[in-house]
Chain A
Amino acid sequence: MLNARIRKAFAPTDEADSRPNEEVPSPVGDEASARGDHKVSARDDDRRPARKDGRASGRFVLDVDFNAPPGVTILFGASGAGKTQTLKAIAGLVRPDEGFIAVDGQALFDSSRGVNTPVNRRRVGYVFQNLALFPHMTALENVEFAVGNLPRRERRARARALLERFKVGHTARRRPRAVSGGEAQRVALARALAGEPRLLLLDEPLSALDEAIKLDIIADLKELNRRLRLPILYVTHSRDEALTLGERALVLERGRVVAEGEPHEVFGAPVKASVARLTGVENIFEGEVLSRSEDAGTMLVELHGGAEARGACRVEVPLGRAREGERVCVAVSSGDILLATEEPRGLSARNILAGRVARVEQRAEQTLIHVESGVTWAASVTRQSLREMKIETGKAVWLAFKTYSCRILDS
């Protein structure tokens, strides 16, 4: 079991880019490196896009809190959501400002007690996105390097056995440059497991591979998972990988966990529209997919409000199977919508819609505000908020809700 609570604010890009070298732990001793500040360069792939959209304005805060039991836990999210930084913090390559990281009850990092186990003592297997196989060593030497302190002959035998287990025994004498992408991936996996880690971190391990090889490795990973029962954190932005491999999934957005549960739950695997209505989801609209962003794991949908509505409105929803131009049904619970009387700023919610109050509906336990914004939305508020915000028919208001509050339904 992995417990992780990580908080870290990253400095703006410009500053960090001016000193491209990572600061590394001191070789002087563990005491020194435990206290040393492992600043990380901001060139990291995972962070760049967070700034491009302007809202993050140069500062990125990672703030996650989750547990990962043995088995595959998917870390899902767009580029820049903080997935890689989360892995790095767990491996010890990035030092959180504040937090607690423990594997099987043993603290690796605890800011309140000043615990910070050096990277090389954490026994965390890490497969980097670009694998980072040592180019000057053969496949066998790469794995052998990672095998612990054993006599040379035993080290070699274990490394060979690991390569065989990952079906890449034939690459033993080749340099990483001379093996295929799928083979290199398997060598990297063998190397990450050579030190008998207590935890495995996989950063988009299949992103660069062909479909056929991908399926092959997925099968092997499943087998590996059955046998080892290690906590495996698996970073991906592919829904298919998440649904095939994951036993649990965490969705990261702008450095925060916005959803967690079984992959099917989390990805809103299509639910019947009628079921959604029965369970009290007030906002169900038909719409048309305008564009899909595989990268961000989202798509843009234009909603139509049915016969009585004049207009339309655009919302960002989680990526579904629907193609561009196809019709989908989008559902948002009224409790997931925030209402504001001024234009909200600095929110992480991607959907912010301007509208006017059309009708105030009193119900037994709640008050529903119907807001006209191309389509008519229903947002629930408490009576107290209703009074304090002076909400009445005709008032200009803003609606805000997260991408992952939107669910795609089978219509």
Chain B
Amino acid sequence: MREIDLFPLWLSLQVAAVSTLFVVLSGVALAWLLARKNFFGREALDALVTLPLVLPPTVLGYYLLVLLGRNGPAGRLFEALTGGQLVFTLRGAVIAASVGALPLMLKTARAAIASVDAQFEDAARTLGKSEWQIFRRVTLPLASRGILAGAMLAFARSLGDFGATLMVAGNIPGRTQTASIAIYDAVQAGRDSQALALVALLSLVAFTLLYATNRLVSASLK
């Protein structure tokens, strides 16, 4: 039996962790905006951000490639600022995973924030609190279970992204070859034990994550 390479799994975990961080920050801010503010184009914005959930991953990957590529607007800007590239790098993988995971975060967090009784926020206002204090001390804690669930889903989604990551970051072993791509690669090449090991570990990580979050959520209920 040949040696089993666990590096792709490590890479996936890194991508998922960074992507979840981005997704939680931007997702919660967007969710608050969508749940508490009434502005022109609110539902259009929600639909736009949710689109990656229903588009084929290849379509999403294509858009990202056009946007982030060396001739794309985002890619050119990034290159001008840092001299680096986005496509076929780990950064590209993080962006692909984030865009795919954002809708899950947004949907859960928006519902969680909308379900916080606005009267608590009104009460805090009469107590002299600023909107930021109210968000941090009242809205956020009361919506925390939903937000935690959203973050968990976002992490799981980022961990398993395949199509968009493949198109944007490519399949460079040791650099951008994440676990799900490595599994495909291993199966294609007939390295069954490598595929099996990654499949088993990915499943285990996902299960542990779900289980731990459920425990956490039910504990905070008490």
Contact = CB atoms under 8 A, between A and B. Distances in A.
B194 to A, nearest CB: 47
Nearest to B36: A24
Given A19-B38, A119-B126, A24 B142 contact: no
B141 interface: yes
B84 to A, nearest CB: 34
Interface string B22-39: 000000000000011110
Interface in A1-57: 19, 21-27, 33
B130 A132 contact: no
Interface stretch (B13-21, B60-68, B97-105, B113-121): B113-121
Contacts of A26: 131
A191 to B, nearest CB: 7
A162 to B, nearest CB: 13
Contacts of B40: none
B41 interface: no
Given A120-B128, A120-B129, A191-B127, A21 B122 contact: no
Given A21-B38, A23-B37, A23-B38, A146 B122 contact: no
A306 interface: no
Contacts of A93: 122, 125-126
Nearest to A148: B128
A92 B38 CA distance: 19
Contacts of A125: 126
A132 B129 contact: no
Nearest to B135: A27
Given A21-B35, A21-B114, A126-B123, A136 B129 contact: no
The secondary structure that dominates the B interface is: helix
Nearest to A129: B119
Contacts of A91: 126
A121 B131 CA distance: 12
B142 A121 contact: no
B53 interface: no
A130 interface: yes
Nearest to A30: B130
A123 to B, nearest CB: 7
11 contacts: A21-B35, A21-B36, A24-B37, A93-B125, A120-B128, A128-B119, A132-B117, A132-B119, A136-B141, A145-B127, A148-B128
Given A21-B38, A130-B119, A192-B127, 9 more contacts: A21-B114, A24-B36, A91-B126, A93-B126, A132-B123, A145-B124, A145-B137, A148-B128, A195-B128
Interface of B: 35-38, 114, 117-132, 135, 137-138, 141-142
Interface of A: 19, 21-27, 33, 91-93, 118-126, 128, 130, 132, 134-136, 145-146, 148, 191-192, 194-195
Across chains A and B, which 8 residue pairs bring their CB atoms closest together, nearest first?
A27-B131, A132-B123, A119-B125, A146-B127, A126-B126, A22-B118, A136-B141, A132-B119
